[in-house]
A and B are shown apart, each in its own frame.
Chain A
Amino acid sequence: MIKTSLRAASVALALMLAPLPVMGAGVEHILIDKQQWPFAGFRGQFDAGQLQRGFQVYQENCSSCHGLKRLSFRNLVQPGGPEFPENSVKSLAAGWPNKITDGPNDKGKMFERPAKLSDPILGPHKNEAEARDAFNGALPPDFSVIAKARGIEPTAPWYTHIFLMMRDIATGYQEGGPDYIYALLTGYKNAPKDFNLSDGMSYNAAFPGHQIAMVPPLAKDNFVKYQDGKGSLEQNAKDVSAFLAWAADPSLNERKRIGWQVMLYLLVTTVLLFLAKKRIWSRIKH
């Protein structure tokens, strides 16, 4: 036991002296590039124009498989979001292909009706089993909080982690989710030659394990054109990532705005209290 420990200790020391990319077996950390976001850090706010474009990408490209069930159509109108005009969202809701199941009616039957402002933005599938059945067992996740449910892991050596952590805290970095979504949407590549890709799967550089059941939703030559006729794969990916970041955190604008007022108040009060404390303690020797 002691002998093995000693041997292990010497191995460990050797490993410690070399920069240590040896992470746990089986867990590969993929380098995800951080993007520039208008809502990033402690100052950023959502850009309504970007969220509107992002919603268009979601509507035309994602909504055929992915729901947004924890959002209601009314959220698309509220301040701090895409801020579409109420009337256009009303007609959007009325024409949304995935109807609301309501009832029971006077005959005791459930029935389907068009969505209203107060209704959730539903995906095409009634439940998980139906979705899995439609996609060979894979489940297209709901997008309501997807940007909060994803993040990025540091790939740098272990001794840098504490500094990365302090940097993230100081800059208010919370954009791991949209960074990941952008990397995923732009990460479809041809599989390396020695990569064993299963049938029906696609190769994705950002996805853990690199095998993803989702076919490329956007491509260099197949992307959503905006109202001004422009667009690109990267632009689409960026806008829809921003839209999903808003969907997961719709109070961000208000949160940061109030946050600054609170910080200012706390800083001033702390300084005042500190001076008052000095004044009081100056009455005795200390």
Chain B
Amino acid sequence: MSNHVSSYKPLSPMAKWWDDRLPIARLIHDSFVEFPTPRNLNYLWTFGGILSFCLVAQIVTGLVLAMHYQPSGADAFNSVERIRRDVNFGWMIRNFHAVGASMFFVAVYIHIFRGLYYGSYKAPREILWILGVLIFLAMMATAFMGYALPWGQMSFWGVTVITNLFSSLDGVIPGVGTAIVTWLWGGFSVSGATLNRFFSLHYLLPFVIMGLVILHVWALHVAGQNNPTGLDLKHKSDSVPMAPYAVMKDAVGLFAFLIVFAWFVFFLPDYLGHADNYIEANPLVTPPHIVPEWYFLPFYAILRAIPSKLGGVLAMFGAIAVLFFVPWLDTSRVRSTKYRPIYRWFFWLFVISCLALGYLGAKPADGIYVFWARVFTFYYFAHFLIVMPIVGLIETPKQLPRSITEDVLGPDKHTGGGMGIPAGAAAAPEKR
């Protein structure tokens, strides 16, 4: 925390010399060793560390793939095949990167829903949350451009369809949309020029994400971690030092996650992709059924649910933009959904809506599917714009524990850590 007095003590004259000039060991000690973490964090809190691993793994495997990949319309598909067939361990590194993108999104979705459930976006963590949404946006852009690089049929037509979204701006000012799309393509259709710039940006964006992640972690360390009760840290007994307690728990979470990760890398490397991407890009033939990668499906369903081109695009971007305003849309006095008897139902309804939109995004956009996509799209927005403000105002939260320590050890075991607060005088947020 910002006002935390550092407990770092250099152990040798060399460390002292270094600490007086560049106190990097002190920074690490304060941020990742001594840093007080709430003692009641559950395994959902290990996904922050898992996501850091995912980012580093994607950067390292991507760096290696870029040593063998050729970003040109003529050679891209062949060079990916050469990586799969001829490069030493190329198949493994390529699977790691492709599956890694999916695993990154699995982890980030769990991370986001955890934040939504426990109210991690509420004051004083608004900036932390907004930085998270920015990271999510940058991840989507990176993944989209990365999926273009194998230059298969889904790559090509995915790029065509998504870049064409911008042509909907023609409905606002005629000509502007077309001009933007031509500019994005570097030609009058998706071509090798488009692929080349996507490769360049795909290489750049992960480092932008890295910068945002540093800010995200910084903001986290200023506000401190939220926890399942949503209560602030009040006593010394509410927290444990990050190392070894939280670090060890993170390690367990990471390795459990890696089991799933490795299962896909070694036994199901193509399960999460689409078979059509093993057909080389062909500008003359559109696949019968274009679907984006699974992690975009809910947004794709929202896009297609709206019967107007511009409206669909606005709804899709709006579905992400609305996340920026969540800290102010939620009017609840308590953070954690655990203590919100009404909102809890709506939260799970929202989860079901997102899953349903994901399913519908993979289905053809006609008949019954469009109807249900509209129903769930409606709820997606209603959840943020109607449910969050209204339920927060009318709901009476359940009794909160007086402190994190009490939540963990039970009401009688409260040691108070020397603070000795009188019963009933705790600043009960549910009555704030």
User: Chain A: residues with CB nearer than 8 A to chain B?
Assistant: 5, 8-9, 12, 15, 20, 22-27, 41-42, 70-71, 75, 141, 144-145, 148-151, 158, 161, 168-169, 172-174, 176-177, 208, 248, 250-251, 254-256, 258-260, 262-263, 266-267, 269-270, 273-274, 276-277, 280-281, 284-286
Residues of chain A lying within 8 A (CB to CB) of residue B251: 273, 277
Name 17 A/B residue pairs within 8 A (Cβ), A-sorted.
A24-B366, A70-B81, A70-B85, A71-B85, A75-B85, A141-B279, A148-B278, A149-B278, A151-B275, A161-B359, A172-B268, A174-B271, A208-B288, A256-B267, A259-B262, A263-B259, A285-B413
Q: How far is the CA of A145 from the CA of B368 in the complex (A)?
A: 35
Choice from B252, B266, B375, B413 contacting A262 with Cβ under 8 Å: B266
B230-261 residues at the A interface, CB under 8 angstroms: 240, 244-245, 248-249, 251-252, 255-256, 258-259
The answer to whether the Cβ of B263 comes within 8 Å of any Cβ in the partner chain is yes
Residues of chain B lying within 8 A (CB to CB) of residue A158: 359
Residue among A141, A161, A260, A284 having the largest count of chain B Cβ atoms under 10 Å: A284
Question: With A12-B368, A266-B259, A274-B252 as given contacts, are A255 and B91 in contact (CB-CB < 8 Å)?
Answer: yes
A25–B366 touching, CB < 8 Å: yes
The answer to whether the Cβ of B371 comes within 8 Å of any Cβ in the partner chain is yes
Residues of chain A lying within 8 A (CB to CB) of residue B275: 148-151, 176-177
A251–B91 touching, CB < 8 Å: yes
A258 vs chain B, min Cβ distance (A): 7
Residues of chain A lying within 8 A (CB to CB) of residue B40: 286
Number of interface residues of B (CB under 8 A): 50
Residues of chain A lying within 8 A (CB to CB) of residue B92: 255, 258
Question: With A266-B258, A281-B245, A286-B39 as given contacts, are A27 and B267 in contact (CB-CB < 8 Å)?
Answer: no
Question: With A259-B262, A263-B263, A270-B255 as given contacts, are A148 and B270 in contact (CB-CB < 8 Å)?
Answer: yes
Residues of chain B lying within 8 A (CB to CB) of residue A274: 252
User: Chain B: residues with CB nearer than 8 A to chain A?
Assistant: 39-40, 78, 81, 84-85, 91-92, 95, 240, 244-245, 248-249, 251-252, 255-256, 258-259, 262-263, 265-271, 275-276, 278-279, 288-289, 359, 363-369, 371-372, 374-375, 408-409, 413
B271–A169 touching, CB < 8 Å: yes
Residues of chain B lying within 8 A (CB to CB) of residue A273: 248, 251-252, 255
A13 vs chain B, min Cβ distance (A): 11
A277–B371 touching, CB < 8 Å: no
Residues of chain B lying within 8 A (CB to CB) of residue A27: 288-289, 364
A8–B248 touching, CB < 8 Å: no
Choice from A12, A149, A251 contacting B279 with Cβ under 8 Å: A149
Question: Across the two chains, which residue of chain A brings its CB closest to B409?
Answer: A285
Q: How far is the CA of A16 from the CA of B359 in the complex (A)?
A: 15
Residues of chain B lying within 8 A (CB to CB) of residue A266: 255, 258-259, 262
A106 vs chain B, min Cβ distance (A): 28
A277–B267 touching, CB < 8 Å: no
Question: Across the two chains, which residue of chain A brings its CB closest to B362?
Answer: A161
Question: Across the two chains, which residue of chain B brings its CB closest to A261?
Answer: B266
Q: How far is the CA of A31 from the CA of B97 in the complex (A)?
A: 33
B262–A277 touching, CB < 8 Å: no
Q: How far is the CA of A281 from the CA of B255 in the complex (A)?
A: 18
Choice from B258, B276, B367, B374 contacting A24 with Cβ under 8 Å: B367
Q: How far is the CA of A208 from the CA of B252 in the complex (A)?
A: 47
Question: With A266-B259, A277-B249 as given contacts, are A12 and B271 in contact (CB-CB < 8 Å)?
Answer: no
B91–A174 touching, CB < 8 Å: no
A131 vs chain B, min Cβ distance (A): 14
Question: Across the two chains, which residue of chain B brings its CB closest to A146?
Answer: B278
Residues of chain A lying within 8 A (CB to CB) of residue B372: 12
- 10 nearest A-B pairs in the assembled complex, by CB-CB distance: A259-B266, A24-B364, A149-B278, A172-B267, A151-B275, A148-B278, A270-B255, A251-B91, A277-B248, A42-B267
B368–A15 touching, CB < 8 Å: yes
Residues of chain B lying within 8 A (CB to CB) of residue A251: 84-85, 91
Q: How far is the CA of A151 from the CA of B95 in the complex (A)?
A: 19
B237 vs chain A, min Cβ distance (A): 9
Residues of chain B lying within 8 A (CB to CB) of residue A8: 371
Question: With A248-B278, A251-B85, A273-B251 as given contacts, are A70 and B78 in contact (CB-CB < 8 Å)?
Answer: yes
Question: Across the two chains, which residue of chain A brings its CB closest to B277?
Answer: A149
